[in-house]
Amino acid sequence: MSDAPWLTVLGLGEDGLDGLSPANRQVLDRAEVIMGPPRHLSLVPETGAERIEWPVPFSDGLPILTGLRGRATVVLASGDPFWFGAGSVIARNFEAAEWTARPGQSTFSLAAARLGWPLEGTQTFGLHAAPLTRLRPHLSPGLRAIILLRNGAAVAELATYLTETGFADTQLHVMEALGGPRERARSVSLTEALLGTFDHPVCVGLEVAGEGRVFPKASGKPDEIFETDGQITKRPIRALTLSALAPQRGEHLWDIGGGTGSISIEWLMCDPALTATTIEPRADRAERIRRNADALGQDRLNVIHGTAPDVLSDLPLPDVVFIGGGLSADLLAWLRDALPAGTRLVANAVTLESEALLARWHEELGGDLLRIELAHSAPLGPRRGWKSAYPVVQWSVTL
């Protein structure tokens, strides 16, 4: 086998060969195998190459592609394969020397050009294989976004979701088959989107408007956005806890004793490159965490029903650990012995016993020990007074 890449990821537009450069046409002509979704294959004339339809789900196609190793293979993708496309998946699964990419014009670029929107000020979402709830943290009046959807029927689903979240005045710009002979663009209301018929491939430009709840960008989201049975780290404490956890791009969090999941969900909201696993011993609470994560657009949260430290040894190691429940000397000892140096640990305690435990470990391992005391105004006879919450002791340390 030659040292040259045997695999080419080729970005294809709706105009098929008309949009390809001569060099990219030569790549297709020389291919022994052309692999891609049926719609992409239909845009390319017969060249004598073997044709393989990429299966659904997408992951099922990777073993097939691996079996083609050594044969000149072209994988067809939409527009720019590295903008919510197949390129990143292939790059993760094959050596860099095996593949090359030839991107085409992205759907986002075409849509922005039709709408006259600057891409640097427009949010982009690839929701063709992801839930519409990914939009939820971003919805606010004035937002402009371009969204890729899985099919025409998803336009009505998007309109329904925007109505349910309180943004029924949003303007939708529905664009079908951009860049090809079937291209069509329409600006519609949510009602018109519910009644209309749209053809795949479809993307939608949103100009968000309405009276729906807007999530603040700062840590300490409103308690009311979480479904809870009362077991929740309240907003001010959550803000201080997120500050102590200090998320940095690409880090992974263990949230031990997840309760409502508010800490790990807010962790994920800080940056799309962050990941998290929450461990919750009660099945009903684990299910509630799952619902909260999905509803708030953080479906990538990994929820484990189990007890720490019993389930921890089977999990990928974290960069940061938060203990919000189940604090014990055994758990702290396990974390100290099992986790690598540099792992950050934050634990919150409310009871006298857990406070004493953190004080002993602070003496042994150092770090910062913080006592947080808050009070809220409350009726006091005909007047008002301060009603104190239970103080919280927070220990932060780098192992």
- 201-260 confidence digits (pLDDT tens): 999 999 999 999 999 999 999 999 999 998 889 999 999 999 999 999 999 999 999 999
Q: Assign residue 177 a region: left if phi > 0, alpha if psi is -120 to 50, beta otherwise?
A: left
d(CA 74, CA 8): 5
Write out pLDDT tens, residues 131-158.
Answer: 999 999 999 999 999 999 999 999 999 9
Distance (Å, whole) CA 280 – CA 287: 9
Q: Are 258 and 286 in contact (CB under 8 A)?
A: yes
Going from the C-alpha of 28 to that of each of 8, 10, 74, the distances in angstroms are 9, 9, 7
pLDDT for 152-207, tens place per residue? 999 999 999 999 999 999 999 999 999 989 999 999 999 999 988 999 899 999 99
Question: Average per-residue pLDDT in the chain?
Answer: 94
Position 113 confidence tier, pLDDT thresholds 50, 70, 90: very high
- 135 exposure class (CB count in 10 Å sphere: 0-12, 13-18, 19+): buried
Average pLDDT over residues 390-398: 96
d(CA 49, CA 8): 14
Q: How far apart are CA 190 and CA 162, in angstroms?
A: 8
Q: Is pLDDT larger for residue 70 or for residue 321? A: 321
pLDDT tops 90 at residue 267:
yes
pLDDT at 19: 81
Architecture of the domain spanning 223-398:
3-Layer(aba) Sandwich (3.40)
Instruction: Please give the pLDDT value at position 231.
Output: 85
User: Is this model's pTM higher than 0.75 or not?
Assistant: yes
In the predicted structure, residue 3 carries a pLDDT above the cut 70: no
319-359 pLDDT, tens digit per residue, is: 999 999 999 999 999 999 999 999 999 999 999 999 999 99
CA pair distance 124, 26, nearest whole angstrom: 32
Cβ contacts of residue 397 below 8 Å, gap of 6+?
Answer: 344, 345, 361, 362, 365, 366, 367, 368
Q: Give the rounded percent of residues in the chain with a pLDDT score beyond 90.
A: 87
Per CATH, which fold does 108-207 belong to?
A: 3.30.950
Which pLDDT score, from 0 to 100, does residue 1 have?
41
Q: Rounded distance, CA 25 to CA 383, Å?
A: 80
Q: What is the mean pLDDT of residues 24-45?
A: 92
Domain boundaries, the chain: 7-105, 108-207, 223-398
Tell me which of 3.30.70.560, 3.40.1010.10, 3.10.310.40, 3.40.50.80 is the CATH number of domain 7-105.
3.40.1010.10
Encoded tokens for 179: 């860049």
Q: What are phi and psi of 212, to 5 degrees?
A: -65, 160
- Judge contact between 204 and 181, C-beta under 8 A: no
